[in-house]
Amino acid sequence: LAKTTQPISMDSYEGQEVNITCSHNNIATNDYITWYQQFPSQGPRFIIQGYKTKVTNEVASLFIPADRKSSTLSLPRVSLSDTAVYYCLVGENSGYSTLTFGKGTMLLVSP
């Protein structure tokens, strides 16, 4: 499974755009890139997933360059409720799925 590296923590203010970059240098051809969000004492929640280029949904955008060795989660106009841990995962579309979580990025949004 591809290993991911992301910042341990980030700080932001309400209304700002936040970009969290994840490095995954040994990503395999069949790997998807997935981001999850986790609030304290809750299970992780799916945010967005992509394979290449750009993906956008109602809460975030995911930018993936052509070499796919990194990806950037973009959260537009964050609010206090976006304070959470964000995990970047790279998974194989193989016989079984397993999500390998690192320590994630703790995003703190201040007023």
The site for another protein (CB under 8 A) is made up of 31-32, 34, 41-46, 49, 85, 87, 89, 91-104
State the greatest distance between any 2 C-alpha atoms of the chain, in Å, as a whole number: 45
Least spacing, CB of residue 94 vs another protein, in Å: 7
Which CB, 72 or 92, lies closer to another protein? 92
Least spacing, CB of residue 66 vs another protein, in Å: 20
Burial 37-71 (b: 16+ CB within 10 A, else e): bbeeeeebeebbebeeeebeeeebbbbbeeebebb
Least spacing, CB of residue 36 vs another protein, in Å: 8
Which CB, 47 or 78, lies closer to another protein? 47
Please give the structure tokens belonging to residue 52: 């290449």
Which CB, 33 or 109, lies closer to another protein? 33
Which CB, 91 or 109, lies closer to another protein? 91
Distance between terminal CA atoms of the chain? 38
Please give the structure tokens belonging to residue 33: 């890139």
